[in-house]
Amino acid sequence: MMGPFWSVRRTVAMEAAVLLGVAILVGTAWASGAKAIDQKAAAEAQRMFTTTCATCHGTDGEGDGPASFGLATPPQDYSDKEWQKTVTNREIMEAILFGGAPVGLSPDMRANPVLKNKPEVLAALAQMVRSFAGVPEDPVKLLKVAEEVVKETKPHKNMSKQRRAKK
Ligand code: HEC
């Protein structure tokens, strides 16, 4: 048997309140750009690293993959903590997306245009690059930068090499 009219009303009101609450939460997360790198993107980055990047940068990110030997400029050793300090997340992502030549680095570091509409995978790759040196990164911030980088028509000049040269 149904309850009195007011109790049905109350249930509907409560449901509406819950729905509104959810909408506000989702809306706030969306407005602040607080998206995280999802599991699917992280897995795709992992696969891409193993099949592509590791051939030069090595499975441990130390720059000693099988295709690294004989290159004029050695692939970056990600475990190098000094290098990690000189390079920004934007520079890492621009080098990955646009390749070495347009950012003033070795053309042996090739472009990865496949990432143009995959900011999450680009962010996950940058996170991997950082993690090889144990540098903690906020995935939300990484994704924000990645979303800007994929919209660029051309990259900024990479400063990390110049800063390294000054040392
Ligand atoms: C054919 C070899 C090769 C492959 C494959 C390759 N790289 Fe590189 N990468 C290089 C070389 C060489 C450099 C060094 C460029 C320099 O210092 O002039 C480099 C540099 C970098 C840098 C440093 C950029 C900087 O600002 O110093 C990052 C980050 C990077 N690679 C990420 C990646 C990722 C991620 C992948 C896979 C999607 C990848 N690379 C695939 C050869 C490669």
Q: How far is the CA of 43 from the centre of ligand 1 (A)?
A: 20
Tell me the HSE value of 73 on the side-chain side, using a 13 A CA sphere. 12
Going residue by residue through the chain, which has 167 residues, state the pLDDT in tens, using 9 for 90 and above: 555 665 666 666 666 665 655 555 454 445 554 678 899 999 999 999 999 999 999 999 999 999 999 999 999 999 999 999 999 999 999 999 999 999 999 999 999 999 999 999 999 999 999 999 999 999 999 999 999 999 999 998 888 766 666 65
Q: What is the pTM of this model?
A: 0.82
Q: How far apart are CA 132 and CA 91, in angstroms?
A: 17
Token pair for 166: 């000054």
Query: Is residue 58 within 6 Å of ligand 1 at its C-beta?
Result: no
Q: Is 129 in the pocket of ligand 1 (CB under 6 A)?
A: yes
Cα 107 to ligand 1 centre (Å): 9
- Of the candidates 153, 167, 45, the one whose C-alpha atom is nearest the C-alpha of residue 98 is 153
* Residue among 65, 71, 82 nearest 135 (CA): 82
Does the beta carbon of 108 lie inside 6 Å of ligand 1?
yes
105 Cα nearest atom in ligand 1: 18
**Ligand 1 mean position, distance from CA 140 (Å):** 23
User: What distance in Å separates the CA atoms of residue 35 and residue 73, rounded to the nearest whole number?
Assistant: 36
